[in-house]
Amino acid sequence: MSELTLVDAVNHALAHEMARDPTVMLLGEDIGVNGGVFRATNGLQARFGRERVIDTPLAEATIAGAAVGMAAMGLKPIAEIQFTGFIYPTIDQMINHASRLRHRTCGRLTCPMVLRSPFGAGIHAPEHHSESPEALFAHIPGLRVVIPSSPARAYGLLLAAIRDPDPVVFLEPTRLYRLFRQDVADDGEALPLDVCFVSREGADATLVAWGAMMHETMAAAERLEQEGVDVEVIDVATLKPLDAETILRSVEKTGRCVIVHEAPRTAGFGAEIAAEIAERALYFLLAPIRRVTGYDVVVPLARLEYQYMPSVDRIVDAVHKVMEAS
């Protein structure tokens, strides 16, 4: 058991799977000699060699395409995209090839690849380093979309993603990379994909979040507890396929729901969750569903990004409103 940051946990998970499975390979820009822009792959090329930890050209579409080819031929490639602002050239490969390979070949071929990328705001980076495009990938049939919210979940979920026989988009919240440490056992134990985690049980309202927003959401829950409001907090973790049942059970219990994400509001993944609740648990609701999200603008630079991102105050205010409505 070691106290790890989230980026440390990613590194440990990659190293564990590379040592366990010789078909696991890494490729991406500056991931070898430099250990990645955030040092997520630090030391792995020295340990496993240049043939398994490959520095690529600055060509994201090529990185994704090469990973698809490797996966089709029996390898397990893990492709790193430096920032999600650079991930859009990969969408052609992910939509037209990675997500369709099993269907196209009637199951004769699969695509066991992971597309990793840091994402989200909060580190004072330029705007094209701070985006949250999870809804784009969640819309693609055949892709899993996984977002960890802590070092322990990053370790366990990444192991599961690497072992999955189908393509996984694994988005790592940049702001959480070194925000806090957590005890993580480097024991090779994977966490389950396709399930939500109930991070805090409660009876008065359900808070649903993922990734970095879990940090603010849990802080909001603690503040609300001091006010006598008992909220349940759900970490979605795997956005696609969505474990709607866990969310619905919580909403049926509490009757109120607030969904939190830092991506823009319009067509954000929170809208899908809200629609699921409206279709399947409407008559359990005691108040309208509320969303606390980013705004429909490009993420602003530097300190202004904190005006863009959902805050503890905004989450608490939304909970007050659903409590007052019933």
What is the DSSP annotation of 66-82? HHHHHHHTT-EEEEE-S
Regions of the chain where pLDDT drops below 50: none
Annotated active-site residue in 129, 139, 261, 320: 129
Q: Is residue 191 part of a domain?
A: no
Structure tokens at 84: 């999600």
Give the DSSP H or E segment for 25.
strand 24-28
Euclidean distance between CA atoms 102 and 165, whole angstroms: 10
> pLDDT tens digits for 180-218?
999 999 999 999 999 999 999 999 999 999 999 999 999
Give a yes or no: residue 272 inside a domain.
yes
Among 67, 179, 208, 62, which residue's Cα sits nearest to residue 118?
179
Instruction: Tell me, yes or no, whether 211 and 305 share the same domain.
Output: yes
* The last residue of a domain, from among 156, 184, 212: 184
Q: What is the DSSP letter of 129?
A: G
Closest to 19 measured CA to CA, from 165, 157, 159: 159
Provide the residue range defining the domain that includes 319: 197-325
Residue 161 maps to a domain = yes
Peptide bond into 241 cis (omega under 30): yes
> How far apart, in whole angstroms, are the C-alpha atoms of residue 109 and residue 73?
8
Is residue 23 domain-shared with residue 71, that is, in the same domain? yes
CATH number at residue 163: 3.40.50.970
Kindly state whether residues 243 and 214 are assigned to the same domain.
yes
Residue 111 falls inside a structural domain: yes
For 259, the enclosing helix (H) or strand (E) is strand 257-264
User: Ramachandran region of residue 130, left (φ > 0), alpha (ψ -120 to 50) or beta?
Assistant: alpha
Q: What is the pLDDT of residue 129?
A: 86
Domain stops at, among 133, 155, 184: 184
Instruction: Looking at the structure, tell me whether residues 288 and 205 fall in a common domain.
Output: yes
Per-residue pLDDT at 125 = 84
Q: Which two tokens stand for residue 260?
A: 């939190």
Residues 211, 180: one domain? no
Unique residue bearing structure tokens 């929170």: 270
28 and 115 fall within a common domain:
yes
- With beta carbons less than 8 A apart as the criterion, state whether 258 and 319 touch: yes
The reply to whether 129 belongs to the active site is yes
Residue 38 lies in a domain: yes
55 and 119 assigned to the same domain: yes
Q: Residue 192 domain-assigned?
A: no
Q: Which two tokens stand for residue 280?
A: 């399947």
305 φ/ψ sector (left φ>0, alpha ψ -120 to 50, else beta): alpha
Q: What is the CATH number of the domain that holds 309?
A: 3.40.50.920
Q: Are residues 291 and 315 in the same domain?
A: yes
Task: Please choose, from the candidates 54, 66, 57, the residue with its C-alpha nearest in 3D space to the C-alpha of residue 93.
Answer: 66
Q: What is the pTM of this model?
A: 0.97
- Of 85, 88, 125, nearest to 308 by C-alpha is 125
**211 and 178 both lie in a single domain:** no
Tell whether 304 is covered by a domain: yes
Q: What is the pLDDT of residues 284-302, one digit of tens each?
A: 999 999 999 999 999 988 7
Q: Residue 326: what pLDDT?
A: 66
Query: What is the signed CA dihedral for 94, 118, 212, 160, rounded to 10 degrees?
Result: 60
Euclidean distance between CA atoms 290 and 288, whole angstroms: 6
Same-domain pairing of 124 and 230: no
Q: Are residues 282 and 164 in the same domain?
A: no
Q: Check whether residue 219 and residue 316 sit in a common domain.
A: yes
What pLDDT is stored for residue 301 in this prediction? 82
Q: Is there a domain that residue 96 lies in?
A: yes
Q: How many domains does the chain have?
A: 2
